[in-house]
Amino acid sequence: MSVDDLTLCIDCGGGGIKASVFDSFGNRSGPALRTPTPYPLPPSLLVEVICDLAEQLPSSTRCTVGMPGMIRHGRVIATPHYITKDGPRSKVLPDLKEMWRSFDMRRAVSDALQIPVLVLNDAEVAGAGVITGAGLEMIITLGTGLGNAIFDNGVLAPHQEVSQGFVRWGLTYDDYIGEHERLRLGDAHWSRRVRRVVEGLRPVFLWDRLYLGGGNSQRITLPNLAKMGDDITIVPNQAGTFGGVRAWEYASTAD
């Protein structure tokens, strides 16, 4: 990548889709854009939204798309929000679920933008923006739901969709510490749940460093954060966009 190359970074969330362009040093070139995620959301509409955002930004030589769910080699194996009628926690539409199954998002966006495209899970993109490359590093993103990614000495590990696992009372991690529960419980009670999740996942992954990112990581109360351990680092939500530049360093392990 030359110093003149620009990366279009798209962060697709359950509530909003963000776009920015960064140079090879991670400096933003142009405005940071955000548009609400439309529902219902077939693949063709998401590609259209990405193209609309790209038209408002400087021309780029490549594009990184981070989106929720299980992504393999640019294909959507499963995605939790975009298969619903009205967004997270609303009715799943079977026809929409089938549209997304094995959809080649990388090819669709690349054909539309006419540039190389990398499509990863959104937490993998965020992790690429913060890891040091030393030891086993895990990132958990806290937003609409829970995202996660693991890097071992800078190598992206095969994705595990922790968000769909069950944690308590038959609830998935998305159900247990998603945005809807934060709003219902308040930050203090919700933060205790986050701490409980971290304590439960620690013996499973035995990370050297855990990063907590996403829009809600800043809402974890200090008393609960202090009890989580000194191997925990809070990272800014912007990692989800500028991580799109560094994500190309790990493309060979994820693609």
* pLDDT higher than threshold 60 for residue 241: yes
Percent of the chain with pLDDT over 90: 90
Q: What is the span of the domain harbouring residue 73? A: 6-125+240-254
Beta strand pairing status for 62-67 and 117-121?
parallel
> What number of other Cβ atoms are within 10 A of residue 207's Cβ?
20
The answer to whether position 139 is within a domain reads yes
**pLDDT tier for residue 29 given thresholds of 50, 70 and 90:** very high
Q: 3-class DSSP state for residue 183? A: helix
The answer to whether position 138 is within a domain reads yes
**pLDDT tier for residue 236 given thresholds of 50, 70 and 90:** confident
**pLDDT tier for residue 96 given thresholds of 50, 70 and 90:** very high
* 150 and 203 within one domain: yes
Count up the domains in the chain and report the number. 2
The whole-number pLDDT of residue 67 equals: 96
* 197 and 226 within one domain: yes
The answer to whether position 173 is within a domain reads yes
Among 124, 126, 132, which residue's Cα sits nearest to residue 154?
A: 132
The whole-number pLDDT of residue 237 equals: 79
CA atoms of 160 and 156, how far apart (whole Å): 11
The answer to whether position 32 is within a domain reads yes
CA atoms of 102 and 178, how far apart (whole Å): 26
* 156 and 118 within one domain: no
* 136 and 119 within one domain: no
* 168 and 116 within one domain: no
**pLDDT tens sequence across 67-76:** 999 999 999 9
Residue partners of 214: CB distance under 8 A and separation at least 6: 126, 140, 141, 142, 143, 147, 237, 240
The whole-number pLDDT of residue 249 equals: 86
* pLDDT higher than threshold 90 for residue 34: yes
* 151 and 115 within one domain: no
* 214 and 195 within one domain: yes
* 162 and 88 within one domain: no
* 108 and 156 within one domain: no
- Helix ranges (DSSP H) in 85-186: 94-100, 105-113, 122-128, 173-177, 179-185
> What number of other Cβ atoms are within 10 A of residue 59's Cβ?
12
| Mean pLDDT value of segment 86-114 | 97
Beta strand pairing status for 75-78 and 103-104?
antiparallel
Instruction: Read off the CATH number of the domain in which 169 is found.
Output: 3.30.420.40
Give the position of tokens 């939204």: 49
The whole-number pLDDT of residue 250 equals: 78
* 249 and 223 within one domain: no
* 229 and 249 within one domain: no
* 154 and 111 within one domain: no
Query: What's this model's pTM, rounded to 2 decimal places?
Result: 0.93
The answer to whether position 141 is within a domain reads yes
Stretch among 22-26, 98-102, 103-107, 215-219 having the lowest mean pLDDT: 22-26
The answer to whether position 109 is within a domain reads yes
The answer to whether position 1 is within a domain reads no
